[in-house]
Structure 1
Amino acid sequence: MGKERILYTILSKVHSDRNVYPSAGVLFVHVLEREYFKGEFPPYPKPGEISNDPITFNTNLMGYPDRPGWLRYIQRTPFSDGVLYGSPTIENVGKPTIIEITAYNRRTFETARHNLIINIMSAEGILSSPSIFCNKDITFPSQLDFPLPYQAEFFIKNMNVEEMLASEVLGDFLGAVKNVWQPERLNAINITSALDRGGRVPLPINDMKEGVYVMVGADVPFSSCLREVENPQNQLRCSQEMEPVITCDKKFRTQFNIDWCKISLVDKTKQVSTYQEVIRGEGILPDGGEYKPPSDTLKSRDYYSDFLITLAVPSAVALVLFLILAYIMCCRREGVEKRNMQTPDIQLVHHSAIQKSTKELREMSKNREIAWPLSTLPVFHPVTGEIVPPLHTDSYDNTSMPLMQTQHYFHCCQPPSQTRGKTSLKTRNYHFHSSKLSSSKNLILFCP
């Protein structure tokens, strides 16, 4: 019986498309269930094992790398469901928005894809069914005759956005708001995470939450309980980072911890839209109409003259500068002869004598073959420390002495004084020319 090998290849399966019909200005939620995509992937090789593969999702607008600006996506872990949520805008009414949903199996590296077609409808006269918003039968809006003019935004501190998007939790919150507000129509308009508003990531202690902003709309003015936030006393307490006193807070406290200092009440009926004409500034160019590219039948242009001018002018300037520099360097030099003619003869003779004397002294220093003076030799052996005998004996011929030692001999040859205590020594100045000093080795001193 041969060995059977089961080969799993990385495939990309396209699931059937799904159509949804949300309303503009009303919260839209679509849950991406992991169980819905598990059938697209092969089961575990061992029978009896429960398949719990990590699955992640990637969503984007067809033909674009990202989603529309109004649509958000969140998935905490590969073992939790993903959620698409947002509030469609009026600009997209009547335009089908195709979202590509790609599921990745992190165990087998297989992919499954299907398209979500979002058909945004107008908020007027739309009757939504339970299957409009997601595959979990979430029913937020009912029939809408006109946009809701009164909108309130609450900040819930003890909730994350994926927890608030659950149908049961959001339904409980809308029920609590309805008991306080008492409207005829109440709808969730938008949900935003506190992190998207610049909030900080909570510390992983004491089960802290990120917080979520929930905006709801109604068709009746705000209740007196909601208006209590605008009281001067509560505004003062909020400025001092103290909790305001709200009478209806107990209706939310059991499940939702609301920060009443961050509540926002918007009355659309009092907002007057003022149209301002756009005034063009100096930096805005006038509209030149449609761009007309040049035709293909253009006359040929000769660039030979431009090329010559571009090269000839810099070359001529460089040549003139080179000639001027050559004239200065070669034709304007004084020279050695002219310099000697302008120098006095006595100065030239003196300078020549100094140079000649220096040269002869250097030649004489090279020809000296006498040993070093004993004072410069070491007295002790550098290793053993013993006394080193002198290199030359007393009978050593030292007739050829250096110049400094002949001066010492000159002082020794002077005659002693005739009388004790009164000495007179007649000295004369002896001038030794360098030529005589070099020609004779022995110096003859004449003492009168």
Structure 2
Amino acid sequence: FSQKFLHSETLLQSASELSKAYLIICLSVSYLSSLFSVYTIFSKVHSDRNVYPSAGVLFVHVLEREYFKGEFPPYPKPGEISNDPITFNTNLMGYPDRPGWLRYIQRTPYSDGVLYGSPTAENVGKPTVIEITAYNRRTFETTRHNLIINIMSAEDFPLPYQAEFFIKNMNVEEMLASEVLGDFLGAVKNVWQPERLNAINITSALDRGGRVPLPINDMKEGVYVMVGADVPFSSCLREVENPQNQLRCSQEMEPVITCDKKFRTQFYIDWCKISLINVEFAKLNVSVMVLVVHGCERLRLQSERKQLPLTRVDKTKQVSTYQEVIRGEGILPDGGEYKPPSDSLKSRDYYTDFLITLAVPSAVALLLFLILAYIMCCRREGVEKRNMQTPDIQLVHHSAIQKSTKELRDMSKNREIAWPLSTLPVFHPVTGEIIPPLHADSYESTNMPLMQTQQ
């Protein structure tokens, strides 16, 4: 702007008064245009973003972390690259969650988020506003943008022939990458040879009831990819339906598919889980089933009319018990507004119930306690009565055992007392000399046998 201003100043000195006024006006317009351009660039960050997907075609929108980094303050240390962890929260405006057809995934706070799904025909012409809230996990600041999804109608929706593949060596966020999805569609187009081929939907195997893989050998969750075309299925895709391959699938063996090598370089497809759908044929089957159901229902009603008996109410009059069945739309009639119970209801006294609940178990427990106490305390015969009924020889024997036991226990408490008579030295049977003790004085007495014959 300064350069423009200096250049215009030189022109002003050499021009006439009319040309001076004209140059001043042009300079002001250029200055205002520069200010306006700066303002529009700044407003792009906060403006809503419009996208125009087609119904029945896969929609993928990447939430780039680099795009949202400008909304947060710079990194505190100059010279270092900002790599703040950023997470996203997406929801339909005015609602806590997203539409049913739209899904979202973000593996880590350091990776981009992805919105993906297949728009339905019911939402054609209705702008869907998605609120995107970005959270900076370092500064705890947030920013919010709006994504306006304008779903357009497709002339060939839906494509008449659809095939769903299960890819075992991919996660959903890896498959959503444009280059990977393009490679897969190229391989399918090489096998199928259609004029038109579109990716319809992508679903993670976890959303179909799959199990989380173990974190070993770089195992993947798996992903289902549905594609649609305008020509019938190729012979290679129909090889899964032959009896030999069906038998191998039932035995959990890989079927023999001639075109598998065209996918094997990058994609490992589970051919036993492939689904081939003819949309027109499926619609015809549904309409035929509806007609059959209605026809069976009509025949049942006619048979009921013929078989219902007549009930005689009066001798002169006969009234049929059959009533015409009036079929509705499956919606219950409106019962009006909800009327809560009035405040005039009588209060119920639970005091008696409370006493009964506590008194009956307490009385039973007290009775059992008294019976047990009588058996344990009042039914004992006593020591004297027991001794009177016991023979004397048994009492003497028992008393001798108790005395010996008491003597041994006293000896174990004090090892310095005299030894028992049974452990004293004996005389030699031949010479008559006294045999000295078999151990020294410092011998540990706790290991000494009670009888000499125990050596």
Normalised by the shorter chain, which TM-score bucket?
0.5 to 0.7
When residues 373 and 275 of structure 1 are mapped into structure 2, their CA distance, relative to the original with a 3 A threshold, is same
- Partner-residue secondary structure (3-state), 1:122: coil
Q: Aligned with 1:188: secondary structure? A: strand
What displacement does 1:47 show?
0.9
Partner of 1:308: 355
Deviation at 1:161, TM superposition (A): 0.1
1:220 match: secondary structure: coil
Q: Which moved more, 1:347-356 or 1:308-317?
A: 347-356
**What runs of 5+ residues in structure 1 fail to find an aligned partner?**
1-6, 125-144, 405-448
Seen in structure 2, the aligned counterparts of structure 1 residues 399 and 15 have a Cα distance that, compared at 3 Å, is closer
| Contact kept? 1:14, 1:113, Cα under 8 Å | no
Tell me if structure 2 keeps the 8 A contact 1:75–1:82.
yes
Change (3 A) 1:398 1:204: closer
CA change 1:367–1:21 in 2 (3 A) is: closer
Compute the RMSD of aligned alpha carbons.
12.4
Pair 385,282 (structure 1): closer, same or farther in 2 beyond 3 Å: farther
Summarize deviations over 1:345-372 as a string: whole Å, max 9, x none. Answer: 9999999999999999999999999999
- For 1:36 and 1:91, locate their aligned partners in 2 and report how far apart those are by CA, in whole Å: 32
CA distance in 2, matches of 1:170, 1:198: 23
Structure 1 position 44, deviation (Å):
1.2
1:15 to partner: Cα distance: 2.1
Contact 1:149 1:267 in 2 (8 A): no
Using the TM superposition, give the Cα deviation of residue 220 of structure 1 relative to its aligned residue in structure 2, in angstroms.
0.2
Distance 1:91 1:319, change over 3 A: same
Contact 1:100-1:116 within 8 A present in 2 as well: yes
Distance change in 2, residues 1:36/1:388 (3 Å): same
How far has the Cα of 1:147 moved from its partner? 2.7
Aligned to 1:375: 422
Q: TM-score under structure 1 normalisation?
A: 0.54
- Cα displacement string for residues 77-130 of structure 1 (whole angstroms, at most 9, x for unaligned residues): 000000000000111111000000000000011111110000011012xxxxxx
Cα 1:319–1:363 change in 2 (3 A) is: closer
Cα separation, partners in 2 of 1:299 and 1:346, compared to 1, 3 Å: same
What TM-score, normalized to structure 2?
0.53
CA deviations over 1:246-288 (Å, ceiling 9, x no partner): 0000000000000000000x99999999999998599975567
On the 8 A contact 2:88/2:113 being kept in 1, the answer is yes
8 Å Cα contact 1:153-1:215 kept in structure 2? yes
Change (3 A) 1:155 1:351: closer
Could you say which residue in structure 2 is the equivalent of 1:239?
250
Per-residue Cα deviation, 1:385-418 (whole angstroms, up to 9, x for no partner): 99999999999999999999xxxxxxxxxxxxxx
Where relative contact order (Cα < 8 A, 6+ residues apart) is larger, the structure is 1
Mapped to 2, the partners of 1:319 and 1:303 lie a distance apart of 24
Assess if the C-alpha contact under 8 Å between 1:12 and 1:110 holds in 2: no
Relative distance call for 1:21 and 1:293 in structure 2 (3 A) is: farther
User: CA, structure 1 residues 82+269, in 2 after alignment: closer, same or farther (shift >3 Å)?
Assistant: farther
- Matches of residues 10-409 of structure 1 in structure 2 within 5 Å? 15-124=46-155, 145-264=156-275, 280=327, 285-286=332-333
In structure 2, the CA distance between the partners of 1:298 and 1:366, relative to structure 1 (3 Å rule), is closer
Contact 1:149–1:268 (CA under 8 A) maintained in structure 2: no
Conserved? CA contact 2:423–2:450, under 8 Å: no
How has the CA–CA distance of structure 1 residues 378 and 87 changed in structure 2, closer, same or farther, with 3 Å as cutoff? Answer: farther
Deviations 1:400-448 (A, max 9, x none): 99999xxxxxxxxxxxxxxxxxxxxxxxxxxxxxxxxxxxxxxxxxxxx
Which of the two has greater helix per residue?
2
1:151–1:267 contact (8 Å) kept in structure 2: no
Give 1:379 shift. 39
Q: 305-314 or 8-17, which moves further after superposition?
A: 305-314
Moved more, 53-62 or 308-317: 308-317
CA distance in 1, matches of 2:379, 2:415: 48
Counterparts in 2 of 1:358 and 1:163: CA distance versus 1, 3 Å: closer
What is the alpha-carbon distance in structure 2 between the residues aligned to residue 156 and residue 270 of structure 1?
74
| Unaligned runs of at least 5 residues, structure 2 | 1-37, 276-312
Distance between the aligned counterparts of 2:44 and 2:61, measured in 1?
21
Aligned residues: 377
Range moving further from structure 2, 38-47 or 170-179: 38-47
Are residues 202 and 176 of structure 1, via their aligned partners in 2, closer, same or farther at CA, if it must alter by over 3 Å?
A: same
Contact 1:180 1:225 in 2 (8 A): yes
Q: Would the alpha carbon gap of residues 79 and 11 (structure 1) be closer, same or farther in structure 2, given more than 3 Å must change?
A: farther
Deviation of residue 155 (structure 1)? 0.1
- Structure 1 CA distance, aligned partners of 2:378 and 2:362? 24
- Give, in whole Å, the separation in 2 of the partners of 1:272 and 1:380: 130
Question: Contact 2:135 / 2:141 at 8 angstroms: preserved in 1?
Answer: yes
- Taking the aligned partners of 2:321 and 2:188, their CA distance within structure 1 comes to 32
Q: Distance in 2 between matches of 1:315 and 1:201?
A: 54
Q: Secondary structure at the match of 1:241?
A: coil
Distance 1:65 1:274, change over 3 A: farther
288 and 376 in structure 1: CA distance in 2 versus 1, 3 angstrom threshold? farther
Residues 374 and 390 in structure 1, CA contact (< 8 A), matched pair in contact too: no
| 1:216-251, Cα deviation, whole Å (9 max, x unpaired) | 000000000000000011000000000000000000
Answer whether contact 1:158 1:257 (CA < 8 A) is retained. Answer: yes
Give the stretch that moved more between structures: 40-49 or 54-63: 40-49
Please give the alpha-carbon distance, in whole angstroms, between the structure 1 residues aligned to 2:315 and 2:158.
10
Give the match's secondary structure for 2:135: strand
Assess, with a 3 A threshold, how the Cα gap between structure 1 residues 304 and 373 changes in structure 2: closer, same or farther.
closer
